[in-house]
Amino acid sequence: MNGFRAQLLAFALVLGGFGPSAHAQQVPGEFDIGTVQSPVLVIEFERAFGESAFGKRFALELEQAGAEIAAENRQIEAELTEEEQKLTEQRQTLDPQAFRELADAFDQKVQKLRREQDTKARALVERQETARRDFLISARPVLNRIMQDAGAVVVMDKRNVFATVSAIDVTDQVILGINQLLAEADKANAPKDAPAEEPSKQDP
């Protein structure tokens, strides 16, 4: 997680960088941080990610993918156990060389399947890393807006701050802003309903 904390600290943006181009990137919906004005704001990144619609959607996708891999593992284990049992029974009727060839082929199959499943498991971990990076990118315009409203020059991960006051914690505002962005994106990407066809006129 240290890498993600470092990425989050990359949101330490100089106030002078909030020129017209940055302000032009509007965030839909209404949210604010109240009357607080502070050059430094803090955010609980893991909570913002986990409690946002973005993070919840990803968590569901990850849970489904993990369940699929677990089901595959159970099926593979059952099939290999059955195959191993048959191979053990054949040992009494095969000459040693023939049995050794079958046993070696079985071992190679086991190793191949293990590598394939390990690759899938590692891919899930990589998806977690990618999802967090995507979240940071999505959060940038929200953070820009919040920093402008607060007159802030830096946003820091709360875990890296020794002591702070709750007033400068903008985690809830970031969650709200991200949810609004996601809702707007879903609405824009939703398939448009086809216009209803007018009933054909028939001669009486």
Judge contact between 186 and 197, C-beta under 8 A: no
DSSP state of 34: T
| Residues 36, 41: Cα–Cα separation, whole Å | 10
Q: What's the pLDDT at 33?
A: 55
pLDDT of residue 72: 95
**DSSP codes of every residue in 71-137:** HHHHHHHHHHHHHHHHHHHHTTTS-HHHHHHHHHHHHHHHHHHHHHHHHHHHHHHHHHHHHHHHHHH
Tokens of 121: 């498991």
pTM comes to: 0.66
- Residue ranges of the domains in the chain? 42-152+162-185
In the 8-state DSSP scheme, what is residue 200?
P
Token pair in block for residue 1: 């997680």
Contacts of 1 (CB under 8 A, 6+ apart): 46
> What pLDDT score was predicted for residue 50?
92
Residue ranges of the chain whose pLDDT lies below 70: 1-35, 162-163, 192-204
Max CA-CA distance within the chain? Answer: 90
Taking only the tens place, the pLDDT of each residue in 119-157 is 999 999 999 999 999 998 988 889 888 888 888 888 888
